[in-house]
Chains A and B, each alone.
Chain A
């Protein structure tokens, strides 16, 4: 297709030639890979249903909502586990949200650049510490310390909440900081120009503007906390009881949904009722986290799409 130099002649534009086979195969694989994510998540859910759904029929909904979890006698009341997960998660959120938001404000608004350069990797490191290591430290260091403060045991819902809070912190801090960072500079400048102090600007202008980002940070933090397994398993005492209000709600051992699966799945026969019920717990966890994450995505709206470089 060399143009005749000097005398350009109207060469006809070619009919589309067959593309190289290699390219067709590769592009087909790429498309399949994209769609595979949907297939995988459907497969996961379908499989949980297949193994877990029988539990809802055999035990019945009322049986599953009973107050007693005692598998040896086929008592599969999930209530203590739900309460355990709820307590630990709520506790973690109550601790992590104020700490996380404040730390994000510190990093984004107050910290001098050199300190931010140090702290951001430190927080990334926290995100990277395996949960089993945090659980282990909670087990050998934190739990004894809490017991020394006068609790009957150090393995409590509170211990779990504290460990979980630190696990959820990196998520909350980094997403909140992004949200703060995204607040237009004009808002800040405008507020400062009107005579507001730096703190008033943060409190009245920057935080409200970053509200939806902060909500997402909190939701994803919750999602992270509900699903966490190993750390809570080591530090919450694993007693499938509903803690009583009178004895200090947060200072009694509890057991979470996740820890129940982890602790018991190793010992059940596949296909048994107990096995089905543990998968049913998996369904519950899947649905909860799916709702939280979908809601967060929905709040973000169309912004989750492609962000590309500018036009030429």
Chain B
């Protein structure tokens, strides 16, 4: 085989492998949509499950996931953005900063089930919150923290250094520079990152397994100290723990969860594109 033939073969192989990677992804999404759409109706989205969950809807699981996602946002956003501001604008390159960066990388790498263990030990048992929305949201919040920090720091670092220099040169303090020049420019990027992080949290099962999720609750949660149903856990339960569960309902639940999570990602991506086009620098 000469060089040109090798090249042709290599290119064909590479393209074929890329197809092996990409086609199943597309297939998985379309298959879930095609199977799931059949059982989705207005009632499915707005009714409680009935008859041992084999009939009816998934309303409480949807509400639970929304509540958990909001709780996660409240837990992760203030701390995460502040830490990002610290790293991007205040930290100098020293041992402490390196330790912080190492901590963030490792927080991002801790398995979600280990977060679940920590949440169980600290929030549910030690702080006596019980299996509850607040314990689940705090656990998910910790898990989301490194994502919020990394994406926010990146967004802040994208703001040109020139704006900082100009701001200081007209007598702004460091905080004034951050507050009035940097953050307004970084906000779109920060929002995108936060939504991406929350999308990930919304789809997680392991962290809420022992901290928030309930098999079945006959009413919506009344306070943040109630346990709750949630979409990912519900999908796990009905696909493995409920005998005689109609497959259509399982696929429909998977589709709702997939739509919930992917629409957050899509919204974040579109938002980022629009804001990038709009900015003037």
Contacts and interface: CB of A to CB of B under 8 A. Distances in A.
Direct contact of A and B (CB under 8 A): yes
Main secondary structure of the interface of B (DSSP, over half): helix
Contacts of A293: 105-106, 108-109
B90 to A, nearest CB: 6
Interface in A165-205: 166, 169, 173, 197-200, 202-203
Given A33-B83, A122-B25, A289-B109, A41 B239 contact: no
Interface stretch (A71-79, A135-143, A241-249): A135-143
A307 B150 CA distance: 13
B14 A105 contact: yes
A36 B25 CA distance: 38
B186 interface: no
Question: How many of chain A's residues touch chain B, expressed as a range?
Answer: 35 or more
B111 A51 contact: no
A130 B205 contact: yes
B103 A38 contact: yes
Nearest to A270: B125
Contact of A200 (B7, B20, B80, B104): B7
Contacts of B224: none
Interface stretch (A3-11, A53-61, A106-114, A146-154): A106-114
A173 B118 CA distance: 31
Interface in B202-259: 202-206, 209-210, 232-233, 235-236, 239-240, 247, 250, 254, 257-258
Interface stretch (B44-52, B56-64, B66-74, B160-168): B160-168
B54 interface: no
Given A139-B239, A229-B206, A34 B121 contact: no
Given A27-B175, A290-B109, A122 B239 contact: no
Contacts of B250: 136, 140
Contact of B99 (A38, A107, A124, A200): A38
A19 B173 contact: yes
Contacts of A226: 111
A37 B145 contact: yes
B142 A289 contact: no
